[in-house]
């Protein structure tokens, strides 16, 4: 019997206050895991704690900026004391800045790299020793279409997500012998606050041009929902994927396989 159960596992989902992180944390909890999550905003934290409670999930929430190694190490140690050593880490927290590269400041570029690439390094570095002690571990890095493709205005994000793909493969390579599997999920275009600007209705009530573009680029002919990511996350967090390592699982409705619908 394939084992998708996460019973008694301790899972940390970074950026788990809403969006993709919240959905993945919910799914891991429904598969039996105990959930810890973090974000930067106290308002988001309190709303998320209430939202998890409404689902019957007794989550541990932390105000922790993933770019701060000190804050991350304190959070990981506190989780260990209150829940136990982390078995599952989802590096989900992320930002994007949509600015033409020649207009982007180096500081803006570094901010995106810090959250989307350096932070997964920081958090993984903090949890791997415990996973080695326990003799197992699952790390899931939330990559992107931009781990494979570029587009205008997202240079920093694409550089970060491309690097995150290779960080995923390197963690898999370096720690596979300790029964730690590190994989990525590459969501397509998902309806969350992060992509809301790309779906805003125009002044005349018509769809945003990017909205129509993405639907034409997706064989599924729709935006993804956070629910579309729940099953893949449970799979990669469970014993069912113990021989899957260094893999980026694209959950994109087929975007990467498709040239796009011919305009009428
Ligand atoms: P979102 O709606 O903007 O949510 C981001 C989450 O990360 C929030 O909980 C946010 O909470 C938290 N966060 C941001 N910066 C943080 C920091 N420095 N420290 C701690 N928490 C931080 O984003 P999303 O659409 O759910 O995306 C989640 C992940 O999926 C990101 O890595 C994104 O790049 C990736 N992704 C998204 C899509 C998509 O289409 N939506 C597709 C592919 C990949 P606070 O603001 O309170 O900190
Ligand atoms: C963008 C979008 C994308 C998505 C996602 C696609 O501006 O192109 O924000 O980057 O967030 O990463 O997989």
Residue 113, pLDDT score: 99
What residue owns the CA closest to ligand 2's atom 4? 189
**What pLDDT, in 10s, does the model give residues 178-233?**
999 999 999 999 999 999 999 999 999 999 999 999 999 999 999 999 999 999 99
**What pLDDT, in 10s, does the model give residues 62-94?**
999 999 999 999 999 999 999 999 999 999 999
Q: Using pLDDT thresholds of 50, 70 and 90, give the confidence band for residue 56.
A: very high
Ligand 2 pocket residue status of 125, Cβ below 6 Å? no
The rounded Å distance from CA 131 to ligand 1 centre is 25
Residue 264, pLDDT score: 84
**What pLDDT, in 10s, does the model give residues 168-190?**
999 999 999 999 999 999 999 99
Lining ligand 1 with CB less than 6 A are 14-15, 17-21, 38-41, 44, 65-67, 92-95, 115, 142, 144, 187, 189-190, 192-195
Ligand 2 pocket residue status of 195, Cβ below 6 Å? yes
Q: CA–CA separation, 233 vs 138, rounded Å?
A: 11
Neighbours of 132 (CB within 10 A): 16
Residue 217, pLDDT score: 96
Ligand 2 pocket residue status of 189, Cβ below 6 Å? yes
Helix or strand run (H / E) with residue 180: strand 180-187
The residue among 113, 122, 140, 114 whose CA lies nearest residue 72 is 122
SS3 for 98-163, per residue?
Answer: CCCHHHCCHHHHHHHHHHHHHHHHHHHHHHHHHHHHHCCEEEEEECCHHHCCCCCCCHHHHHHHHH
Considering the domain 10-188+224-255, what is its CATH architecture? 3-Layer(aba) Sandwich (3.40)
* pLDDT over 90 at 125, yes or no: yes
pTM, to two decimals: 0.98
* Domain boundaries along the sequence of the chain: 10-188+224-255, 191-223
* pLDDT over 90 at 2, yes or no: no
52 phi, psi to nearest 5 deg: -65, -40
Does the annotation mark 250 as catalytic? no
Which candidate in 52, 62, 109, 157 is catalytic?
A: 157
Q: Using pLDDT thresholds of 50, 70 and 90, give the confidence band for residue 132.
A: very high
């Amino acid at each position: 019997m394939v084992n998708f159960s996460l019973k008694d596992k301790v899972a940390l989902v970074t950026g788990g206050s809403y969006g993709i992180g919240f959905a993945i944390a919910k799914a891991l909890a429904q598969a039996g895991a105990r959930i810890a999550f973090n974000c930067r905003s106290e308002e988001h934290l309190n709303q998320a704690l209430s939202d998890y409670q409404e689902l019957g999930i007794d989550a541990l929430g932390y105000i922790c900026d993933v770019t701060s190694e000190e804050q991350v190490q304190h959070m990981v140690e506190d989780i260990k004391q209150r829940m136990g050593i982390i078995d599952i880490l989802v590096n989900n927290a992320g930002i994007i800045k949509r600015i033409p590269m020649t207009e982007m400041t180096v500081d803006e570029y570094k901010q995106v790299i810090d959250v989307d690439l350096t932070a997964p390094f920081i958090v993984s570095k903090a949890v791997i020793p415990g996973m080695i002690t326990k003799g197992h571990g699952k790390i899931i890095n939330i990559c992107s279409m931009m781990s494979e493709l570029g587009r205008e205005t997202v240079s920093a994000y694409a550089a970060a997500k491309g690097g995150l793909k290779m960080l995923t493969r390197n963690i898999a390579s370096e720690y596979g012998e300790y029964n730690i599997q590190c994989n990525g999920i590459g969501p397509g275009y998902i309806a969350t606050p992060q992509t809301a600007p790309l779906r805003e209705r125009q002044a005349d009530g018509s769809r945003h041009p990017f909205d129509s573009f993405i639907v034409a680029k997706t064989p599924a002919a729709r935006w993804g929902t956070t629910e579309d990511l729940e099953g893949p996350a449970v799979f990669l967090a469970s014993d069912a994927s113990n021989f899957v390592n260094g893999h980026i699982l694209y959950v994109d409705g087929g975007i990467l396989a498709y040239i796009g619908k011919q305009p009428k």
